[in-house]
């Protein structure tokens, strides 16, 4: 049984989507609702309650309650009551509850793939924390920017075999088509402009052209504005009683206040469908009558700023609204009719939204990574395993090994893998790349204490898989930089000669393969592979530890690897060097490390060794860490 889960960790609520055995993703119902409150409550005995359980416990001691942990993402630690908790542990608790609810649908099966979404403008620190919070929850973790996930969902045309038979909008999805995504969530407003990529095989792929956000306004702020309006209607009857209701610290006051806030939130949702509603009030107050006109008057200014933010983001992408294929509205607050009306008036484009817009991002995220990683919609069974002998085949694969041709099934990949890296996720690349990255847990140690080596097969090389632009290729114009093409990917970047081109991009392995553009055959063996491995320690500071581990792996296969040097001078760098011998090629490996990233550059010489050496020297010399 295979289980893939997507979690849209939101400011006030979290959406969980699961796909069992490749079936159409479905929203996971938690406590009878399609959304899980993101709230946490730290009990005195150390228990962390999540969701509605946390909201109920908050009535006992509100000082131990945090309703919006996503807003505290940059703070490092939280003080809940007398407990100091790491933010990463608080986020982990929310994700763990979400994953646990999804696993119920699959009889407790382990999660093969966990997809997490994040705002498009989150940088390295925040995305790294999100990955750390997902530790040990799944065999594989992927991150997708929220607007990309929304775009994939909206643009998708489901196959005839899908039960839903759903076609969201008339979006052709041609390469170059551009759309805007306005996400009105519980605590933030995020606007992004994304464009469909042109690369073959990237069915549904998008790149982020521009993104803007307002972290100071969201659905929770609308609830507060409506609560204050209700107070203005009823407090005149007994101001002291109203003050006690909204500020009182007694247990009775806190419980009454919690119920009132729920009723106000329900009134806001009702006003999205009806012109008026009544808010039930506790004694001594009469029920409050509120109208949609009241609500729109309260939120006209912040929603106007959200629409202006949308226009500014479109302009930042170098476009005019009329050039967009569509504007999509996502997030629970996008239900408010005024949002659609203001966007139409300001841009001239009628925006598109769906029922349950708060689930769009999670539903699109799972579909996005399935497309990225080249996963079929249904593919039960175990993933490929790496054997010490160097052959890697999916279960049941009976294709013949092609000796001496890396990139064919069964051929070993150059370079040792590190089986003991723990569960730490890879450090992210620069936020501006907006890449989908997949962190795969390390393989277990080989029998008898031997460390396994990582091999790359042809299927991994030829799967050019990315949802968004996972490769930023630009011309370098700096006078101090060599001429060529800059490849910015994962936690590293480098400059390759201008006459070399990318032929492989294995997202799961965090690997880029480049070859001469004039290679006569796709099977030509001249190439350079650059791959990142994640360390459980600082490889730059603890270089001796890295050297010892690599030396041990090399010594385990003396017939294949030789000439290990822990202190080798190459391309003006101090590197670890060793040589791999193949039937038809020789691979020189150069290893560098910075913080938790180890980058191995494998330079494979076969047909024309001189051109590989020149390219290899330039790549190693220009290699930079971005973690």
Answer yes or no: is 281 within a domain.
yes
Asked which of 308, 338, 372 is the last residue of a domain, the reply is 372
Helix (H, G, I), strand (E, B) or coil at 191: strand
Taking residues 497-502, report their average pLDDT.
87
The CA distance from 83 to 79, in Å, is: 6
User: Based on the domain organization, do 500 and 616 belong to the same domain?
Assistant: yes
Of the pLDDT bands very low, low, confident and very high (cuts 50, 70, 90), residue 119 is: confident
Q: What tokens does 46 get? A: 């150390």
Asked which of 319, 338, 372 is the last residue of a domain, the reply is 372
User: Based on the domain organization, do 364 and 312 belong to the same domain?
Assistant: no
User: Based on the domain organization, do 188 and 51 belong to the same domain?
Assistant: no
Q: For the stretch 442-471, what's the b/e string if a residue is b when 16 or more beta carbons lie within 10 angstroms of its beta carbon? A: bbeeeeeeebbbbbbbbbbbbbbbbbbbbb
Residue 541 has pLDDT above 60, yes or no: yes
Q: Domain range spanning residue 194?
A: 169-353
Tell me how far CA of residue 327 lies from CA of 116, 168, 192, 481, 577, in angstroms.
Answer: 23, 13, 10, 40, 52
Of the pLDDT bands very low, low, confident and very high (cuts 50, 70, 90), residue 453 is: very low
Q: What is the CATH number of the domain that holds 16?
A: 3.30.420.40
Q: What is the percent of the chain where pLDDT is above 70?
A: 75
Confidence (pLDDT) at 507: 59
User: Based on the domain organization, do 348 and 359 belong to the same domain?
Assistant: no
Taking residues 92-114, report their average pLDDT.
92
User: Based on the domain organization, do 111 and 253 belong to the same domain?
Assistant: no
User: Based on the domain organization, do 109 and 248 belong to the same domain?
Assistant: no
User: Based on the domain organization, do 474 and 588 belong to the same domain?
Assistant: yes
Q: Is 363 exposed, middle or buried (0-12, 13-18, 19+ CB in 10 A)?
A: buried
Complete DSSP assignment for 550-610: HHHHHHT-TTTEEEEEEEEEETTEEEEEEEEE-SS-EEEEEEEEETTEEEEEEEEESS-HH
Taking residues 541-564, report their average pLDDT.
89
Answer yes or no: is 620 within a domain.
yes
Q: Which pTM was predicted?
A: 0.55
Answer yes or no: is 381 within a domain.
no
User: Based on the domain organization, do 161 and 304 belong to the same domain?
Assistant: no
Confidence (pLDDT) at 522: 54
- The count of domains in the chain is 3
Cβ neighbours of residue 399 under 8 Å, at least 6 residues apart?
393, 409, 410
Please write the tens of the pLDDT for every residue from 521-532: 555 788 999 998
Please write the tens of the pLDDT for every residue from 356-411: 788 889 988 887 876 544 433 333 222 222 222 222 222 222 222 222 222 222 23
Taking residues 506-510, report their average pLDDT.
64
The CA distance from 585 to 612, in Å, is: 12
Q: What is the CATH number of the domain that holds 438?
A: 3.40.1000.10
Q: Is 39 exposed, middle or buried (0-12, 13-18, 19+ CB in 10 A)?
A: buried
Angle of helix 124-133 versus helix 87-104 axis, rounded to 10? 50
Please write the tens of the pLDDT for every residue from 406-448: 222 223 333 443 322 222 333 333 333 333 333 333 333 333 3
How many C-beta atoms lie closer than 10 Å to residue 111's C-beta?
21
The CA distance from 327 to 212, in Å, is: 15
Question: Would you give the DSSP letter of residue 480?
Answer: T
User: Based on the domain organization, do 578 and 462 belong to the same domain?
Assistant: yes
Answer yes or no: is 534 within a domain.
yes
User: Based on the domain organization, do 535 and 407 belong to the same domain?
Assistant: yes
Answer yes or no: is 379 within a domain.
no
For residue 402, say if its preceding peptide bond is cis, omega within 30 degrees of 0. no
User: Based on the domain organization, do 100 and 227 belong to the same domain?
Assistant: no
The tokens 């817009």 sit on which residue?
357
Terminal CA-to-CA distance of the chain, rounded, Å? 36
The CA distance from 443 to 418, in Å, is: 8
User: Based on the domain organization, do 20 and 154 belong to the same domain?
Assistant: yes
Residue 508 has pLDDT above 80, yes or no: no
Answer yes or no: is 145 within a domain.
yes
The tokens 């730059």 sit on which residue?
540
Confidence (pLDDT) at 342: 93
Answer yes or no: is 378 within a domain.
no
């Amino acid at each position: 049984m295979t289980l893939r889960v997507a979690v849209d960790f939101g400011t006030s609520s979290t959406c969980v989507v699961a796909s069992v055995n490749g079936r159409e993703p479905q929203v996971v119902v938690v406590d009878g609702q399609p959304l899980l409150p993101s709230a946490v409550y730290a009990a005195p005995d150390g228990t962390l309650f999540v969701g509605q359980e946390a909201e109920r416990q908050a009535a006992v001691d509100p000082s131990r309650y945090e309703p919006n942990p996503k807003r505290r993402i940059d703070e490092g630690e939280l003080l809940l009551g007398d407990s100091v908790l790491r933010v990463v542990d608080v986020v982990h608790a929310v994700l763990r509850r979400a994953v646990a609810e999804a696993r119920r649908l699959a009889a407790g099966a382990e999660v093969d793939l966990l997809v997490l979404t994040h705002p498009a403008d989150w940088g390295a620190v925040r995305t790294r924390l999100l990955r750390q919070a997902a530790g040990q929850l799944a065999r594989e973790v992927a991150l997708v920017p929220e607007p990309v996930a929304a775009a994939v969902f909206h643009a998708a045309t489901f196959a005839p075999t899908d039960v839903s038979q759903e076609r969201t909008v008339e979006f052709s999805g041609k390469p170059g088509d551009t759309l805007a995504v306005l996400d009105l969530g519980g605590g933030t407003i995020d606007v992004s402009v994304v464009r469909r990529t042109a690369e073959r095989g990237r069915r549904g792929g998008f790149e982020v052209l521009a993104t803007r956000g307002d972290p100071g306004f969201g659905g929770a702020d609308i609830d507060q504005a409506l609560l204050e309006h209700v107070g203005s209607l009823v407090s005149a009857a007994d101001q002291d009683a109203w003050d006690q209701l909204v500020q009182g610290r007694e247990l009775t006051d806190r419980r009454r206040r919690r119920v009132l806030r729920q009723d106000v939130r329900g009134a806001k949702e009702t006003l999205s469908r009806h012109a008026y509603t009544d808010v039930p009030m506790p004694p001594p107050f009469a029920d409050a009558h509120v109208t949609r006109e009241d609500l729109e008057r309260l939120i006209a200014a912040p929603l106007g700023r959200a629409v202006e933010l949308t226009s500014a983001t479109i302009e930042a992408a170098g476009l005019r609204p009329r050039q967009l294929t569509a504007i999509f509205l996502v997030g629970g607050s996008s239900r408010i009719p005024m949002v659609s009306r203001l966007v139409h008036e300001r841009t001239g484009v009628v925006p598109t939204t769906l029922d349950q817009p708060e689930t769009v991002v999670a539903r699109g995220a799972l579909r996005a990574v399935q497309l990225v990683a080249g996963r079929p919609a249904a593919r039960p069974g175990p993933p490929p395993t790496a054997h010490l002998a160097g052959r890697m085949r999916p279960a049941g694969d009976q294709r013949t090994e092609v000796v001496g041709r890396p990139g064919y099934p069964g051929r070993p990949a150059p370079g040792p893998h590190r089986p003991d890296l723990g569960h730490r996720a890879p450090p992210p690349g620069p936020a501006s790349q907006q890449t989908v990255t997949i962190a795969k847990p390390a393989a277990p140690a080989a029998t008898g204490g031997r460390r396994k080596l990582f091999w790359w097969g042809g299927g991994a090389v030829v799967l050019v898989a990315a949802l968004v632009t996972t490769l930023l290729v630009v011309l370098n114009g700096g006078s101090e930089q060599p001429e060529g093409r800059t490849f910015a990917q994962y936690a590293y970047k480098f400059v390759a000669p201008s006459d070399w081109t990318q032929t492989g991009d294995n997202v799961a392995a965090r690997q880029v393969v480049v070859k001469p553009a004039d290679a006569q055959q796709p099977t030509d063996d001249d190439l350079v592979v650059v791959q990142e491995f994640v360390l459980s320690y600082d490889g730059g500071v603890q270089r001796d530890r890295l050297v010892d581990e690599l030396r041990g792996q090399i010594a385990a296969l003396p017939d294949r690897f030789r000439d290990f040097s822990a202190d080798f001078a190459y391309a003006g760098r101090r590197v670890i060097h060793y040589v791999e011998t193949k039937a038809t090629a020789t691979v020189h490996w150069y290893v560098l490390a910075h913080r938790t990233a180890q980058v191995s550059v494998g330079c494979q010489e076969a047909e024309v060794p001189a051109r590989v050496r020149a390219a290899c020297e330039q790549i190693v010399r220009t290699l930079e860490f971005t973690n």
